[in-house]
Amino acid sequence: MPIPKLHLMCGKIASGKSTLAKSLAFEQAAVLLSEDQWLSRLYPGEIKSVADYVRFAHRIRSVLSPLVINMLESGVCVVLDFPANTTADRAWLRNLAEAAQVPHCVHYLEVDEDICRARLHVRNESGEHDFAATDAEFDLITRYFRAPGKEEGLDIVVHRP
């Protein structure tokens, strides 16, 4: 039986977090949970600001936290396609693994901002992603981004294009 592990995604908008998360879930036979999917289905058209996003994301996290811990404790690998893009986000996510007493891995997609912006434009045009950010939203959200550091007590794997 595989050892349960919590896989976390870190990277700017359109860095490839969701693509990597899907790949990891397949490779690890893991359960994949996507924040963009939950937000778009539970709060369609209601996220109009960063404050809205934060409020709704915290609601989802309060519901999913015990579920994720329970799955990990039951021996299931979990891939969380939730942004581990700030120290506070990563602390919440790391605490899930610690509560379940399983290892974690932060997958950091280190992708240049210009590449992310170009990918975002393509993604928005395709309409296939649950989250379409404008350039202004990209700039605003990117201001909050902080790369993970070893001082956070994380197991980090860096992915570069």
115: CB partners within 8 A, 6+ apart: 161
CA–CA separation, 71 vs 83, rounded Å?
Answer: 20
What structural domains and CATH numbers belong to the chain? Answer: 6-159 (3.40.50.300)
pTM score of the predicted model: 0.90
**pLDDT tier, 74 (very low <50, low <70, confident <90, very high otherwise):** very high
Average pLDDT over residues 147-159: 94
Ranges of H-type helices in 12-49: 17-28, 35-42
Q: Give 105-138 pLDDT, tens digit per residue.
A: 999 999 999 999 999 999 888 877 767 778 888 8
CA–CA separation, 98 vs 132, rounded Å?
Answer: 33
